[in-house]
Amino acid sequence: MTAITQARPARRARLSTTAIVYIVLVGVIALSAVLVSAAGESFFTSSTLTSVLTLMSILGFVAIGQTLVIISGSLDLSVPYVVSTASIVGAGIMAQGAAGVVPGVLAALLVSAAIGAANGLIVTKLRVHGFIATLGVGLIISGWLGTSFQGSFGSAPPEFRLIGATLIAGVPLSTIIMLACAGLAALLLHRTRLGHHIYAVGGNAHVARLSGVRTQVPVVVSHILCSMLAGLAGLLLLARTSVGSPTIGSQGGYDLMSIAAVVLGGTLLAGGSGGVLGTIGGVAIFAVLDHVMGVLEVNPFFKDFVRGAVIIVAVALYAWRSLQRRPPRFHGKGTRT
Amino acid sequence: MTALAQRSPGRRFLSALATPGGAVFVLLVVLLVAASIANPRFAEPDQLVRFLARTAPIAIAAIGQFFVIVSGEFDLSMGAVIAAQVVIAGNVIGQDEAMILPGIALMLLVGVVVGLLNGLLTTLAKVPSFIVTLGTMLALYGFVRFLTGGAATGNPVDSFREIGRGSLGDVLPYPVIILVVLAVGAWLLMRAPFGHTLLAVGDNPVAARLSGTRTGAVKVAAFVLSSLSATVAGILLVGYAGVHPSIGTGYEFQAITAVVLGGAVLGGGRGWVLSAAAGAIALELLFTVLNQVGIDSTWRPSVQGIIIILAVALGAVAWRTARRPASVTRAEAAAGADPDPIPTPTPTPGEQ
């Protein structure tokens, strides 16, 4: 008995976190296939693939950005309001027709980047906890949105709406863009100096500073990138719904869901460890669950219950596992999470 | 802290006012004066008491959130607990007077169970409390909406609702009495060994554990207290606002704002429980003042956002000043609210 329990952590330690995420994803898909076929529908069809990939795209954008911010040791709770703001700004400028598409996209991304810069500067210069800084900025934006806009605003020309509707070999264009962003973010994290600095600062800001890293730059940049990715998500929602909406971000609950997806993907909430690939796996798990509950016509309110349960169980598994894994490298200091 | 104890009560009082936990009381008085100037009727005792009754639920929620925050964790499930309790009150108690006591017992039981769940998952399974309580929040909201279909259902009997809207001899509303009792209880609890342990666990969990504290048990107790205070807030809100599944939405963030405004440090180890309650009242008072000045209530979140950022930024500076070695004069520390950034390395921004 003791031999078995001692052998298990050693074997698990060889699996990377990302591998576990995808094993869980395969498990979820298998379970879904059983449930769906038990209900008399077929699961492995191209329409399922399209549906799951579509469900992935928006949360995917937000979660990629959230991954960067969380690895750098901060958090972003302002994303839903950035999503709404981008959709409003984009729709306002695009209302003039096809000529407004490029300026609309640029303006929306610029505004998003400015919000991200504000987040990053409040976190680094005023030394406010990322939780509070972005919660505060999010609240400020939501007050502005709630005061200035009632109902939908502006519109998107048909050319722009194509982005939301185009399928390439069954894969939505929006998902392709999202995966491209994920690839770029992974390149940034693993192949550039800035990426390594993001990990260093998130792991231990003090050590990073003593090693000559400018600790503020990575945090600010990851906040800016996160907000711009949230802005892209807002533009994509605009392309789907064709009108800007001041509440579309908060309705989606993208702040907490993206953090959940990031943590589900094996990134440490305390920062310094994790990756984009795991996050995409986490987003895919949510998308498969959503799709299956949609097909099975589960009461929509029950979805939240399942999501909550999945988050807790998955993270409990990781946390248990990472406890077994962490001590060898950083003994004592730096493990107080 | 020992240096503080040796000085005269007057100076101690003044320097206490300069800490973030004391400054909130100054803010409270300033806002009270502002509100009375904007609307002279507001300063009348009955109006003040009525205002206090209205803020009692959020102040009680803030007291509960304080225990969790000071132990170094978050409780995001608070709003969902309130919603669940409100719906339970509507469905279980209904129009049956005999069900009031069993109903309240059931609600307290649910509160304890949610708190235990949050606490045990955080301490035993080592899941960050942010994620645990996010999970319980989603699960509880899902459960509540599943039960009610998202619409108002059931209406508890009037004698139960009296707890939230009635008053003792038409003078002292029950919510105010409950708030005062709970505040005094929380104050005593923080002065008891439990409170000192809680602060120690939040300040330095490793040191606390090495000194023989059962850190897990203390944190679990903090989560249970938080859920129970959300339960009480729920009972008061049923009386005040009736049954609707959306009651309680946003209470977790409002309670966190109040606690932070009251000078407690996110990450734990620092704060005073009565300042947290005062923070909640100051926040509501600020909204009242803004209302009186004629600012649209839609700007409420923005004001809350600015406040929360400023409170934390200034509070961080003040705590850092207060924590400097004893060679720095206390007079300087007393002027700590004045922002003079010291280039001390701070821990990672996102550290939990």
Mean pLDDT for each 10-residue chunk of chain A (337 residues)? Answer: 45 67 88 86 83 90 96 93 94 88 94 96 90 91 90 85 82 91 95 94 91 92 96 93 87 86 87 91 92 83 80 75 51 42
Query: What's the confidence (pLDDT) of residue A177?
Result: 92
Query: What's the confidence (pLDDT) of residue B328?
Result: 44
Cβ within 8 Å, pair A130-B349: yes
Query: Do B139 and A260 touch, CB atoms closer than 8 A?
Result: no
Percent of chain B with pLDDT over 90: 27
Query: What's the confidence (pLDDT) of residue A323?
Result: 56
Cβ within 8 Å, pair A308-B134: yes
Residue B157 has pLDDT above 80, yes or no: no
Query: What's the confidence (pLDDT) of residue B142?
Result: 84
Residue B327 has pLDDT above 60, yes or no: no
Min Cα distance B301 → chain A (Å) is 5
Residues 116-145 of B with CB under 8 A from A: 121, 125-128, 130-132, 134-145
Residue B305 has its nearest CB partner, among A72, A143, A319, at A143
Residue A269 has its nearest CB partner, among B121, B128, B141, at B128
Query: Do B150 and B94 touch, CB atoms closer than 8 A?
Result: no
Interface size between A and B, measured as CB pairs under 8 A = 191
Query: What's the confidence (pLDDT) of residue A91?
Result: 93
- Alpha carbon B73 to chain centroid, angstroms: 13
Min Cα distance A107 → chain B (Å) is 23
DSSP 8-state assignment for residue B91 = I
The Cα–Cα gap between A275 and A182 comes to 10
Strand partners, A168: A171
Compute the C-alpha angle A131/A134/A135, nearest 5°: 75
Which is more confident, A321 or B187?
B187
Query: What's the confidence (pLDDT) of residue B345?
Result: 42
What is the average per-residue pLDDT within B321-331?
A: 51
Which of B205, B312, B325, B322 has the alpha carbon at shortest distance from B264? B312
Cβ within 8 Å, pair B131-A305: no
Q: Which two tokens stand for residue B255?
A: 């309670």
Question: Reduced to 3 DSSP states, what percent helix, strand and coil does chain B have, rounded to the nearest 5?
Answer: 75, 0, 25
Q: Looking at the complex, does the CB of residue B260 fall below 8 Å from at least one CB of chain A?
A: yes
Query: What's the confidence (pLDDT) of residue B319?
Result: 67
Q: Looking at the complex, does the CB of residue B209 fall below 8 Å from at least one CB of chain A?
A: no
- Three-class DSSP category at A86: helix
Q: Which amino acid is residue A197, in one-letter code?
A: H
- Three-class DSSP category at B124: coil
Query: Do A204 and A77 touch, CB atoms closer than 8 A?
Result: no
Query: Do B74 and B68 touch, CB atoms closer than 8 A?
Result: yes
pTM greater than 0.90: no
Burial class (CB in 10 A: 0-12, 13-18, 19+), B91: middle
Q: Minimum mean pLDDT among A37-41, B201-205, B209-213: which range? A: A37-41
Identify the top-confidence range among A63-67, B146-150, B206-210.
Answer: A63-67
Query: What's the confidence (pLDDT) of residue A336?
Result: 41
Residue A143 has its nearest CB partner, among B135, B253, B301, at B301
